[in-house]
Amino acid sequence: PPPSSCRKHTIPKPHPPVVGEVTHHSIQLSWDLENTAQRKGPQEQWLKISIEEEDPKLHTYGTIYTGYARQHVIEGLQPRTTYRFRLKVTSSTGECSYSPAVSVSTTREPMSGEQLHRAVSMNDVEAVLNILQGGVTVDMKSQHLMLACFSGHLDIIKYLREQGASWEVRDLGGCTALHWAVDGGHCEVIEWMINDGCQVDAKDTCLEWTPLMRVSAVTGNKDVASLLIEAGADVNVKDKDGKTPLMSVVMLLEENKRKLSENTNCPPPVLGSQAREVTK
């Protein structure tokens, strides 16, 4: 019932407030009263609007806004929580009227990039789905697409692509998701990416390496290199130093041979009783 301070009203009962933008921490309410005369004359003669929020435990209402605006944003709310609001319209003579209440639920709190990173790294498909349903940007999806490609999590890759993640997004060094995938060495993933339209000969911005040049210079994985070549990767492309993929793989083999030779020529460390014998 209306509080005792509210005089018997002759003001028409207002409609419930109209719900506008809703986030995980705010709700926008607006109203447009039918009484067009409310804003004529001095402001103190206008109809005053109050928003009242229901206390869910006591089932009583408390005022959270009073003024002459046509909308108000209630902030500082809890995610995924239902709130009830009503309008109170008060005339300059103290007469008032209440609208029916309206119920509004705030949205799920957006997940952070750190949470998505963790879920992708652990190949936790269910967690990834929950996070994406909570709302993340396309750029964030595309950045974590790279991590999924490196880790070989094909189910997550497919879902991120369905959700709009792009093959065109690059990391700070200009590498694409395919650069990351060749480092991971997961042939099934690379083959799927190529069939999905991933660009084979994209160059990074640091060394101007294509994915084929990267695998030739970093891992030497022949299965990955074969997939890229079969997909049309340019075997004669040159990086900013003028090296081709063949030159890079030869250099990698020479470096590996040098390291192996150094390890072979070094005597094993002397431990335990052998150490005691040497020191005698």
CATH number of the domain within which 185 lies? 1.25.40.20
Residues 180 and 93: their CA atoms lie apart, in Å, by 71
pLDDT of residue 271: 44
pTM for the full predicted model? 0.50
Same domain, 185 and 256: yes
Residues 164 and 135 sit within 8 Å (Cβ to Cβ): no
Q: Are residues 187 and 155 in the same domain?
A: no
- 232: helix, coil or strand? coil
- DSSP letter assigned to residue 58: T
Question: Strand pairing partners for 49?
Answer: 67, 89
Given 105, 123, 155, the domain boundary residue is: 105
212 and 247: one domain? Answer: yes
Q: How long, in residues, is the chain? A: 280
The pLDDT score that the predictor gives to residue 242 is: 92
- Give the CB-side neighbour count of residue 4, counting CA atoms within 13 A: 0
In angstroms, rounded to a whole number, what is the distance separating the alpha carbons of residues 80 and 184?
39
Residue 154 counted as domain residue: yes
The list of the chain residues with pLDDT below 50 reads 1, 4, 36-37, 138, 270-280
Kindly state whether residues 95 and 114 are assigned to the same domain.
no
Range of the domain at 154: 110-166
- Looking at the fold, whether 185 and 247 belong to one and the same domain comes out as yes
**In a shared domain, residues 88 and 119:** no
In-domain check, residue 7? no
What pLDDT shows up at residue 256?
66
Q: Are residues 159 and 194 in the same domain?
A: no
Residues 127, 182 share a domain: no
The CATH number assigned to the domain holding 65 equals: 2.60.40.10
What single letter denotes the amino acid at residue 222? K
- Asked if residue 8 is part of any domain, the answer here is no
Task: Tally the domains of the chain.
Answer: 3
For position 80, what pLDDT does the model report?
84
- What is the C-alpha to C-alpha distance for residues 235 and 247, in angstroms, rounded to an integer? 10
Q: Given this model, what pLDDT does residue 272 score? A: 43
Determine, yes or no, domain membership for 279.
no
| Predicted pLDDT at 255 | 72
Q: Does any domain span residue 185?
A: yes
Domain final residue, candidates 140, 166, 192 = 166
Residue 275 lies in a domain: no
Q: Which pLDDT score, from 0 to 100, does residue 125 have?
A: 64
Question: Is 100 part of a structural domain of the chain?
Answer: yes
Same domain, 53 and 122: no
Do 161 and 175 fall into the same domain?
no
Examine residue 129 and state whether it is found in any structural domain, yes or no: yes
Task: Assess whether 117 and 93 both reside in one domain.
Answer: no
The token pair that represents 273 in the structure block: 């009783």
- Nearest to 19, CA basis, from 82, 75, 77, 102: 102
Q: 90, 105, 120: which is the final residue of a domain?
A: 105
Same domain, 98 and 175: no
